[in-house]
Structure 1
Amino acid sequence: MYRIYNIYVLAGFGTIGGMLFGFDISSMSAWIGARQYTDYFNDPDSTLQGGITASMSGGSLIGALAAGFIADPLGRRGALQVASVIWIIGAILQCSSQNVAHLIVGRVVSGLSIGITSSQCCVYLAELAPSKIRGRIVGIQQWSIEWGILIMYLISYGCVMTVDGPAAWRIAWGVQAIPGAVLLAALFFFPESPRWLAGRDRWEETHEVLANLHGGGDRDDPIVLAELEEVKEAARIAMEAKDVSFFGLFGPRIWKRTLAGTSVQIWQQLLGGNVMLYYLVYIFNMAGLTGNVALTSSIIQYVLFLVTTAFILPIVDRVGRRPLLLGGAIFASIVHFATAGVMATYGYPVDSIDGNANLRWAVEGDPARAIIALSYIFVAMYGLTWAPIGWIYCSEVFPLRYRAKGVGLSAACNWAINLALAFFVPPAFTNIQWRTYIIFGVFCFAMTFHVFFLYPETSGKSLEEIDLLFDQNLSAWRTGSKTSHLHTRAAELANEKGAGATATATEEERA
């Protein structure tokens, strides 16, 4: 069967799984202030709206935990195919919702799919990509999430403006099934992960996939042979142990990697991106923007998010993971504290905003414009740093036999915090108003120290070299980027091949 081997084409279609996540984020953020939605579902209060929003995260938590158990026997590609089918079912359920309970069931089902794709897309791409551009390739998943956010928001915006009644949100949520169907069809033409094949002793297929991915089909290419050596060594080590369980992720040689992979996903959520994306309309409403003006301002922010991530992806492997994580945490902390200061100093309590009793704090004039500007600055910083790096980093730190379950657990941690924040933020805006930003600012300050002392640099290293990096117990701040051992070994193999060819030629001349 015909297979696609261009890594950028694979990333472009494979990260549709990330686009599904983005679709869900903006599908809800666009509707929480729309009359078509609030009238049909009887104006849900802050607690109920938090539950509706969080239902997707709850499903995603379950899906992420199950992802490793699906991906290990079926393969990375097989797991994504299963997730595509689940997503289509979830879109149909949401589109046909008759009440809040029906809607929540649909969002939970969609969440199951997102939990699988959010963990296994980055694993799949990390195992396909060459080490020198792995961050760029895996980071495309985050960019795809942002495309999904923008596309669904524009679709929802158009429906809000032009369609009356529940047909507005039914059309928007029904359209979500289309990318799921595209991903399902595309996966039939994708190769399986060479590292998953190696774990099943399918060495002929492993060599063929590596050759087509990294050597233009040349099975004797030095880079291909060097990577095949490393994959064989990693597979040999993996086969020495019995089947991996979640408890193995906390073993004496693995727990540091598990801590790094899971915590980077937890911190990504506690950075505060959830506040800016799920409840963006609430923030703009408190700053004096209501109705269509708030929706239009949200579009600007989503475009900014998309552009900044597009800027960082081509250079993410040269900049490194640690500088972006550290810089992003420090900058986010400053922005959160500044936003809280402006809201506390110039804001005042109100009974409701534009008829929404969930919002009890308002800011007007220049201070309101300052809050909007700070929101834009935060999203730009988030798109440059933690949004892509969180997914890249957790896909790199686990060894082969732990990777599917380890990244699944990491994604599950992301969704667990996402679930908590989806519940927390609406009541927080109602009850503690500007103090919500103080909480996120403190989280950002704390994560700076964690990253500095415990996150080694993984940029520019093969997945097998990262294993050695953790085993050596080097101080995290001393693990800078370097030329991959893979390329050094490839050069050695090329020299050996050249020396062999020279010797053969000399023997022929003598004859």
Structure 2
Amino acid sequence: MYTITNIYVLAAFGTIGGALFGFDISSMSAWIGADQYLDYFGSPDSNLQGGITASMSAGSFVGAVASGWLADGLGRRGALMIAACVWMVGAAVQCSAQNVAHLVAGRVVSGLAIGVTSSQVCVYLAELAPGRIRGRVVGIQQWAIEWGILIMYLISYGCARGMTGPEAFRVAWGVQGVPGAILLGALFFFPESPRWLAGKERWDECLDTLALLHAKGDRTDPTVLAEYDEVREAARIAAESRDVSFMGMFGKGGLEAHHVRRHGTDVAAAARWQRRHVLHRVHLPHGRHGRRRRALLVGDPVRHLPRDDGPGAAYIDRVPRRLLFLVGAAACMALHFAIAGLMADYGHPVPDIDGNANLRWELPGGGPAKGVIACSYIFVGVYGLTWAPAAWIYASEVFPLKYRAKGVGLSAATNWIFNFALAYFVAPAFTNIQWKTYIIFGVFCAAMFFHIFFTYPETAGRTLEEIDLVFETNTPPWRSNRLEPDAFQRRVEAVRHQKKEEEVEVGQMEHV
């Protein structure tokens, strides 16, 4: 069977898993204000709508927890195949929804698939990609999420404008199954992760896959041999350690101290802090002559545009991961506080907006409103250039081979449980505490800045096996960029030198 070996083609198809997440985001946010949706499902209040929206994150939490076992048992590719099938089932259930409970069930099923793809696509691509371009390859997943949001939003917009009954959202939700089918078909032509093959002691297949990915099938290429030696050493270390369950990862008999530190670094920050983009609800009077006022979801227009993750892929491997995280945290903190200040100083409470009692804060038009909108757009740009791609990349890098699938699965599960809480919290928060919501987000961003500085070691440009050594040295994170940044290239040169010496010896023997 033909096997795709170009890493960028693999990333392009593999990150359809990210697009599924984007599809599901837009499949709800595009409809919550549409008459077809509100009439059919009885105009859900903020608490019920929060539960409907958050149900996907609940399913994703369960899927992410299970993803480690699936990926370790069936392979990275096998886990993604199962996720693609589950996604198509979820799309069918949502498409046929007869009531809120039916819709929630469909979103939970879809969430199961997203839990697997969100955690294991980045693991799979990280294990395929060379260290020098791993950031841009894995970072494509976040860009795919944004394109999924945009595509699904446009589909929903067209259906809402062209159809008057419930068939409008049914068609849009049914179309979600198409990218799942494309992903499933493409996976039959994907290679298995060479590091998973090494963990199963399938050494010939591991070497063949590395050769196909990095040297067009040449098993004697120095780069292939150097990476193969690294993978063998990592697999040997993994084989000597005991099996680790999720609970065991936190005990003395599980991960060693530096592995626990990895887990704390990844879960407590990359997962917990990442999802800071929210719906920014403000009200703007519309027009001067008594035209109908409208509620503007400042976050929504931005959420339906691809962020700057695409151009960001060009620099993601040239800029230290720590710098991206620190700059992103500081900038997002400032923007959240700025929005809170504008809303507090210039806004005022109202009983409702256009009869919607869930919206209780009005911000007059003009400078303050434009300031909030500008801050929201800048926030999305900053997030898209820093945390959006870097957090998923970092999560896929910091765990050693034996724990990578389970560790990233647990990291994603933590991410999804916070997503669930955030999705459920946002609507009531804007109803009850209005602008103070942004103070909470700003404080979280401030906390994450210090968390990153004191716990995040540098990983950019290193092979996955070299990152193991970064943690094992217990070097302070703010000094970790000094640890042998060119170690892998030196090993390649050593293999190349050894190969030349062997060729000289063979030539001398033939001459004799």
How does 1:77-96 map onto structure 2 within 5 Å?
Answer: 77-96=77-96
Determine which structure has the larger helix proportion and give its number.
1
* Residue equivalent to 1:27: 27
Which runs of no fewer than 5 residues in structure 2 stay unpaired? 287-291
Asked whether the equivalents of residues 269 and 418 of structure 1 are also in contact (C-alpha less than 8 Å), the reply is no
Percent of aligned positions that are identical:
60
1:350 is displaced (CA, Å) by: 1.6
TM-aligned CA deviation for residue 157 of structure 1: 1.5
Cα distance between partner residues in 1 of 2:317 and 2:135: 6
1:267 is matched with 272
Residue 38 of structure 1 corresponds to which residue in structure 2?
38
The answer for the alignment partner of 1:159 in structure 2 is 159
1:2, CA displacement in angstroms? 1.1
Partners of 1:288 and 1:32 lie apart in 2 by 21
Deviation (angstroms), 1:163: 1.6
Cα shift at 1:302: 3.2
CA distance in 2: counterparts of 1:488 and 1:265, whole angstroms = 31
What is residue 416 of structure 1 aligned with on the other side? 417
- Name 2:123's counterpart in structure 1: 123
User: Post-superposition shift, 1:508?
Assistant: 4.1
Q: Is the 8 A contact 2:208 2:217 kept in 1?
A: yes
What does residue 315 of structure 2 align with? 315
Name the amino acid aligned to 1:505: G
Measure the CA separation in 2 of the matches of 1:286 and 1:27: 24
Amino acid at match of 1:383: G
For the residues of structure 1 that align with 2:299 and 2:66, how far apart are their CA atoms? 38
Helix, strand or coil: the match of 1:286? strand
2:283–2:295 contact (8 Å) kept in structure 1: no
Superposition deviation, residue 93 in structure 1: 0.5
Post-superposition offset of 1:212: 0.3
Deviation at 1:348, TM superposition (A): 1.2
CA contact (8 A) 2:298 2:373 kept: no
- What is the CA–CA distance in structure 2 between the aligned matches of 1:345 and 1:228, rounded to whole Å? 61
Structure 1 residues 198 and 159, CA, compared in 2 at 3 Å: closer, same or farther? same
1:427 aligns with 2:428: yes
Moved more, 479-488 or 417-426: 479-488
**What whole-Å deviation, never above 9, does each CA across 1:235-265 have from its counterpart, x for those lacking one?**
0011112322113322333210111121233
Q: For residue 484 of structure 1, report the CA deviation from its aligned partner.
A: 3.7
Distance 1:182 1:374, change over 3 A: same
Amino acid at match of 1:473: N
Give the TM-score normalised by the residue count of structure 1: 0.95
How far off its partner does 1:486 sit?
1.9
The AA in structure 1 aligned to 2:269 is V
The answer for the alignment partner of 2:6 in structure 1 is 6
Counterpart amino acid of 1:356?
A: N
Secondary structure of the 1:353 match is coil
Q: 1:286 aligns with which of 283, 286, 291?
A: 283
Q: Distance in 1 between matches of 2:134 and 2:350?
A: 50
What's the counterpart of residue 483 of structure 1?
485
1:495 deviation in Å? 1.0
- Quote the Cα distance in structure 2 between the aligned partners of 1:296 and 1:330: 21
Whether contact under 8 Å (2:55, 2:107) holds in the other structure is yes
Task: Give the CA deviation at 1:297.
Answer: 8.6
Number of the residue aligned with 1:146: 146
Conserved? CA contact 2:294–2:354, under 8 Å = no
CA RMSD of aligned residues (A): 1.8
Measured at CA, do residues 295 and 328 of structure 1 come closer, stay the same or move farther in structure 2, by a change above 3 Å? closer
Alpha-carbon separation, structure 2, partners of 1:356 and 1:157: 22
> Post-superposition shift, 1:28?
1.2
Describe the superposition over 1:130-173 as per-residue Cα deviations: whole angstroms up to 9, x where unpaired. Answer: 00001111111111111101111111122222221211111111
- 1:503 aligns with one of 499, 502, 505: 505
Look up the equivalent residue of 1:201 and give its one-letter code: E
Tell me what 1:370 maps to. Answer: 371
- The letter for the 2-side match of 1:497 is K
TM-score, with structure 2 as normaliser = 0.94
Partner Cα distance (1:396, 1:328) in 2: 19
Q: Are the counterparts in 1 of residues 273 and 448 from structure 2 also a CA contact under 8 Å?
A: no
Query: Partners in 1 of 2:285 and 2:172 — Cα distance?
Result: 27
Cα distance between partner residues in 2 of 1:345 and 1:36: 37
**Contact 1:26-1:152 within 8 A present in 2 as well:** yes
1:18 to 1:91, Cα distance in 2 relative to 1, 3 A: same
Is the CA contact (8 Å cut-off) linking 2:238 and 2:402 kept in structure 1? Answer: yes
Find the residue that maps to 2:149 and give its secondary structure: helix
Q: Distance in 1 between matches of 2:272 and 2:241?
A: 31
SS of the aligned residue for 2:396 comes to helix
Q: Distance in 1 between matches of 2:285 and 2:447?
A: 32
Question: What is the match of residue 256 of structure 1?
Answer: 261
Matched, 1:398 2:405: no
Q: Are the equivalent residues in 2 in contact too, given 1:27–1:172 (CA < 8 A)?
A: yes
Residue type of the alignment partner of 2:42: N
Given that 1:95 and 1:169 are in contact with CA atoms closer than 8 Å, whether structure 2 keeps it comes out as yes
Q: What residue identity is the alignment partner of 1:486? A: F
User: What number of residue pairs does the alignment pair up?
Assistant: 500
Do 1:153 and 1:299's aligned partners in 2 also have CA atoms closer than 8 Å? no
Deviations 1:63-93 (A, max 9, x none): 0000011111100000000000100000001
Q: What does 1:55-134 align with in structure 2 at a 5 Å threshold?
A: 55-134=55-134
Q: Measured at CA, do residues 295 and 368 of structure 1 come closer, stay the same or move farther in structure 2, by a change above 3 Å?
A: closer
Return the offset for 1:292. 9.6
> Counterpart of 1:144 in structure 2: which amino acid?
A
Which amino acid is 1:494 matched to?
R
Is the 8 Å Cα contact of residues 157 and 295 (structure 1) preserved in structure 2?
no
User: Closer, same or farther in 2 for the Cα pair 1:343/1:294, shift >3 Å?
Assistant: closer
CA shift digits 1:1-23 (9 cap, x unpaired): 11101000000000111110111
Greater alpha carbon shift after TM alignment, 256-265 vs 2-11: 256-265
Tell me the CA shift for residue 40 of structure 1.
Answer: 1.0
Q: What does the per-residue CA deviation read over 1:365-406, in whole Å, with 9 as the maximum and x for residues that have no partner? A: 121121111110000001001111110001100000000100
Q: Distance in 2 between matches of 1:329 and 1:114?
A: 26
Name the amino acid aligned to 1:503. Answer: E
Alpha-carbon separation, structure 2, partners of 1:382 and 1:59? 25
Equivalences for 1:285-304 in 2 at 5 Å?
Answer: 286-288=283-285, 298-299=300-301, 302-303=304-305
